[in-house]
Structure 1
Amino acid sequence: MTDPAFDADTLRERALTTLTTARARTTLLTSCVEDPDLTAQHSPLMSPLVWDLAHISNQEEQWLLRTVGGRDAMRPEIDGIYDAFEHPRAARPTLPLLPPTEARHYAAEVRGRVLDILESTAFHGTRLTEAGFAFGMIAQHEQQHDETMLITHQLRKGPQALTAPDPDPVPLFTGPSEVLVPGGPFTMGTSTEPWALDNERPAHRREVPAFYMDVTPVTNAAYQAFIADGGYDTERWWTPEGWAHIRQHSIHAPLFWRRDGKQWLRRRFGVTEVVPPDEPVLHVCWYEADAYARWAGRRLPTEAEWEKAARHDPAGDRSTRYPWGDADPAPEHANLGQRHLRPAPAGSYPEGESPLGVRQLIGDVWEWTASDFLPYPGFQAFPYKEYSDVFFGPEHKVLRGGSFAVDAVACRGTFRNWDYPIRRQIFSGFRTARSAGTV
């Protein structure tokens, strides 16, 4: 009997929904400002918004129209311009980019032809078409660039351009600060999630000693205590590289924070506000997360520890897709999809809690782990080496869980993100851990 989740009509509808959702978000992010803001580079760390817009569509054309659909190239002359590996972000404003109106037209024309391809594609026969993988890959790619564009909006100077309702208020979390994650093996990664990307594969058994994990991400109030105790001025909390970095760049607080008398303020999407004490801390680099953990007498969790806390169900000795089970994310589970423009208070979303009692593992803030970004045993690059393979190594640290800026299609219990340990413009926070037997 055919699994209904892999029925062609169901897969086609899922692909259509995820592509449509991604494009609606792309449109919002590129229509809420005037064209000069689309063509400007708001930070050398980021591309002009108009580059992202055309790059999204060029990738869609290359993979869905040319590769899956067998169609002739629409704009082969721009492939090199929108090759992310050929041109670093800082250099992209110097390229002959499509102007905003032409980029929008190109995006619409590509999408129209892709929808024709989607109607006629059989979801079997090749690895790219099996279970609609190529369509899922492109939807995830667009949503990842949507998150990148949201980061650009945060870096952008000027008045507020985006609005969204705040997360629902919740009572101050008074539950336990940590939970014990029992030692033993668990299944890490996946070999069955149809739209999982290559670095999430294959599933394999990992032995993880018992450890304690924070129930919630570290909050702004907790991080302010680290600052008040001289955390940024005490060398012993920092790795040598981290200490050199914060000294060289005069870093004394999370990005976008500034002191105003006795209180901390932050700039968030064009608005200056008091830093909310009960939200997870945001815009900290790996070095800052690691230093805080040392100051607190703890450490960052390894990637395997994070995933075991998020996916292991001890009752059935199995790994679930998400902390709450196998069901796709719903609003009661997690803060995802740019539904809000900020993390929810620590302790929110009890229905998204893992069987071990850990909250907010999905959504709100990307969480730094102690681990370098490395391939799993048996890793195979697919469908191209430049997605994961070229980034493996000690230069990149793994982040897990997703943020409020991540769409559900690009976020699951096995999803792996990575970045340089100096990065702070990303929507990154962390939680801490300790080995069982330590105090």
Structure 2
Amino acid sequence: MTDPALDAEALRERAVASLITARDRTTLLTSCVDEPELTAQHSPLMSPLVWDLAHIGNQEEQWLLRAVAGHEAIRPEIDGLYDAFEHPRAERPSLPLLPPDEARRYAADVRGRALDVLEAAAFDGTRLTEAGFAFGMIAQHEQQHDETMLITHQLRRGPRALTAPDPEPVPLFTGPSEVLVPGGPFTMGTSDEPWALDNERPAHRREVAPFRIDTTPVTNAAYQAFIADGGYDEPRWWTAEGWAHVRRNAITAPLFWRRDGGQWLRRRFGVTEAVPPDEPVLHLCWYEADAYARWAGRRLPTEAEWEKAARYDPAGDRSARYPWGDAEPTPEHANLGQRHLRPAPAGSYPAGESPLGVRQLIGDVWEWTSSDFLPYPGFRAFPYKEYSEVFFGPGHKVLRGGSFAVDAVACRGTFRNWDLPVRRQIFSGFRTARSEEI
């Protein structure tokens, strides 16, 4: 029998490590530019970096200090300023936000108190504290905002502010272009992953017909072939909404790409470089991914197909936490955590391959699916409706798998991301699928 005290200590250590990792990353993202860059809005799609910084602290205060520990509010007057639903991103620069130094002090004060709460936490009694859920939720929340801030860094103009080593070079992938995923039921979602969020729950059986899916994400070279074949000029590849969108916005290539003579260039975190042919294509909206798939005679996988390809182990007829099994990710498994500032070449990370032979399902690029963001059977909003429930419906498409900008705490085989089908600033790519003829 497992000693409950040992379980509690392991949970405490995991929560502390996750919170510290997130805060170290937040510090990096907000200390590498000067104050005017922190307070500026680099795109109407994104908040000023200083808003994210104080919002992170405010959410931590509300959930860990007030909801879990029952403490009095430290700065109740700022709750409204940092309520993501009260103020759209475009208007946040006009708010009386905390200046950078004050935002840093506030976030640090909250964190010190939160670690004291964590030190005394019993991890029982309520669903919010069971298995340290609230602490995991806050670590994930901060990492999600860290990814948002990294997107802001990609959008900002000016010299490079961030650096990271490139992924290890790998030989050109020569494996099969697609793999067969057998038909039949599998377990989708989770009921026992302690820090899983409400939209990942509950676990349920899902029937999936046999299909084939790309072994790796679609590459820049493959997408360039679509462009060269007039993909952006041929309405038959596009949905009516997608065609109207690319025409209205004069979209002719992925975001941050431009043509220079006979070469495609891209801007990546302040540096202009040649588009690497073997890297997964990045910064595409759902409409572009869907159009490419139609042009290729294929389609985007459904969310259920994607998860079966990522989690199903036919040998044990079970769904694992990750493509490689239940173990936490390591640098050999996947490109996560802003360790690199780009996707790894297609075919990288053989240790992260699924039992069915699919690679790079976790990390590198978020992958668009064909599915709308909808609740699972038996869904219950927790701990607040605004995390998932208000986004359900046909307006948002599901993305899966995470990107190089995602930390492992906020990425697993059941994790669901979603966005509007027009979004391109996110670290999004895709892979294609086709139905298996029976």
TM-score range, shorter chain: over 0.9
Say whether residues 1:58 and 2:36 are aligned partners.
no
User: Aligned partners of 1:227 and 1:30: how far apart in 2?
Assistant: 37
Q: Which residue of 1 aligns with 2:271?
A: 271
Work out whether residues 6 and 131 of structure 1, in 8 Å CA contact, stay in contact via their aligned partners in 2.
Answer: no
How many residue pairs were aligned?
438
1:290-369 pair list within 5 angstroms? 290-369=290-369
Percentage of identical aligned residues: 86
Q: Which residue of 2 aligns with 1:193?
A: 193
SS in 1 for 2:396: strand
Q: Which residue of 2 aligns with 1:430?
A: 430
Q: Which residue of 2 aligns with 1:395?
A: 395
Say whether residues 1:125 and 2:125 are aligned partners.
yes
Q: Cα deviation per residue 1:345-375 (whole Å; 9 max; x = unaligned)?
A: 0000000000000000000000000000000
User: Aligned partners of 2:118 and 2:373: how far apart in 1?
Assistant: 34
1:41-120 pair list within 5 angstroms? 41-120=41-120
User: Aligned partners of 2:358 and 2:87: how far apart in 1?
Assistant: 41
SS in 2 for 1:212: strand
User: Aligned partners of 2:194 and 2:363: how far apart in 1?
Assistant: 21
SS in 2 for 1:54: helix
Q: What amino acid maps onto 1:404 in structure 2?
A: F
What's the CA shift for 1:437? 1.3
1:130-141 pair list within 5 angstroms? 130-141=130-141
Structure 1: which 4+ aligned runs deviate by more than 6 Å?
3-6
Q: Which residue of 2 aligns with 1:405?
A: 405
Q: Cα deviation per residue 1:51-103 (whole Å; 9 max; x = unaligned)?
A: 00000000000000011011100000000000000000001001100000000
Q: Which residue of 1 aligns with 2:159?
A: 159
Q: What amino acid maps onto 1:431 in structure 2?
A: R
User: Aligned partners of 1:148 and 1:119: how far apart in 2?
Assistant: 29
TM-score, length basis structure 2: 0.99
Q: Cα deviation per residue 1:369-391 (whole Å; 9 max; x = unaligned)?
A: 00000000000000000000000
Q: What amino acid maps onto 1:319 in structure 2?
A: S
What's the CA shift for 1:2? 2.8
What's the CA shift for 1:425? 0.1
SS in 2 for 1:7: helix
What's the CA shift for 1:5? 11
Q: Cα deviation per residue 1:102-134 (whole Å; 9 max; x = unaligned)?
A: 000001100000011011110111001100000
User: Aligned partners of 2:247 and 2:38: how far apart in 1?
Assistant: 34
What's the CA shift for 1:50? 0.1
- Aligned CA distance change for structure 1 residues 172 and 339 (closer, same or farther; 3 Å): same
Q: What amino acid maps onto 1:199 in structure 2?
A: N
- Aligned CA distance change for structure 1 residues 163 and 5 (closer, same or farther; 3 Å): farther
SS in 1 for 2:36: helix
What's the CA shift for 1:4? 7.3
Identify which range, 298-307 or 117-126, moves more after superposition.
Answer: 117-126
1:209-228 pair list within 5 angstroms? 209-228=209-228
SS in 1 for 2:399: strand
Q: Cα deviation per residue 1:28-47 (whole Å; 9 max; x = unaligned)?
A: 00000000000000000000
Work out whether residues 298 and 432 of structure 1, in 8 Å CA contact, stay in contact via their aligned partners in 2.
Answer: yes
Work out whether residues 5 and 11 of structure 1, in 8 Å CA contact, stay in contact via their aligned partners in 2.
Answer: no
Q: Which ranges in structure 2 are unaligned for 5 or more consecutive residues?
A: none
SS in 1 for 2:18: helix
Q: Cα deviation per residue 1:320-362 (whole Å; 9 max; x = unaligned)?
A: 0000000000000000000000000000000000000000000
Q: Cα deviation per residue 1:218-245 (whole Å; 9 max; x = unaligned)?
A: 0000000000000000000000000000
User: Aligned partners of 2:419 and 2:427: how far apart in 1?
Assistant: 11
User: Aligned partners of 1:179 and 1:362: how far apart in 2?
Assistant: 17
User: Aligned partners of 1:247 and 1:3: how far apart in 2?
Assistant: 62
User: Aligned partners of 1:434 and 1:6: how far apart in 2?
Assistant: 47
Q: Which residue of 2 aligns with 1:173?
A: 173
SS in 1 for 2:327: coil
Work out whether residues 340 and 404 of structure 1, in 8 Å CA contact, stay in contact via their aligned partners in 2.
Answer: yes
Q: What amino acid maps onto 1:224 in structure 2?
A: Q
Q: What amino acid maps onto 1:222 in structure 2?
A: A
Q: What amino acid maps onto 2:114 in structure 1?
A: V
Q: Cα deviation per residue 1:187-216 (whole Å; 9 max; x = unaligned)?
A: 000000000000000000000000000000
User: Aligned partners of 1:230 and 1:373: how far apart in 2?
Assistant: 31
Q: Cα deviation per residue 1:394-436 (whole Å; 9 max; x = unaligned)?
A: 0000000000000000000000000000000000000000000
Q: What amino acid maps onto 1:300 in structure 2?
A: L
Q: Cα deviation per residue 1:123-162 (whole Å; 9 max; x = unaligned)?
A: 1110011000000000000000000000000000000000
User: Aligned partners of 1:383 and 1:65: how far apart in 2?
Assistant: 15
Q: Which residue of 1 aligns with 2:36?
A: 36
Q: Which ranges in structure 1 are unaligned for 5 or more consecutive residues?
A: none
TM-score, length basis structure 1: 0.99
Work out whether residues 254 and 284 of structure 1, in 8 Å CA contact, stay in contact via their aligned partners in 2.
Answer: yes
Q: Which residue of 2 aligns with 1:256?
A: 256
What's the CA shift for 1:6? 7.4
1:198-209 pair list within 5 angstroms? 198-209=198-209
User: Aligned partners of 1:406 and 1:354: how far apart in 2?
Assistant: 19
- Aligned CA distance change for structure 1 residues 4 and 409 (closer, same or farther; 3 Å): farther
Work out whether residues 366 and 400 of structure 1, in 8 Å CA contact, stay in contact via their aligned partners in 2.
Answer: yes
SS in 1 for 2:337: coil
Q: Which residue of 2 aligns with 1:9?
A: 9
User: Aligned partners of 1:3 and 1:276: how far apart in 2?
Assistant: 51
Q: What amino acid maps onto 1:49 in structure 2?
A: L
SS in 2 for 1:10: helix
Q: Which residue of 1 aligns with 2:231?
A: 231
Q: Cα deviation per residue 1:169-191 (whole Å; 9 max; x = unaligned)?
A: 00000000000000000000000
User: Aligned partners of 1:274 and 1:240: how far apart in 2?
Assistant: 32
- Aligned CA distance change for structure 1 residues 6 and 292 (closer, same or farther; 3 Å): farther
Identify which range, 392-401 or 118-127, moves more after superposition.
Answer: 118-127
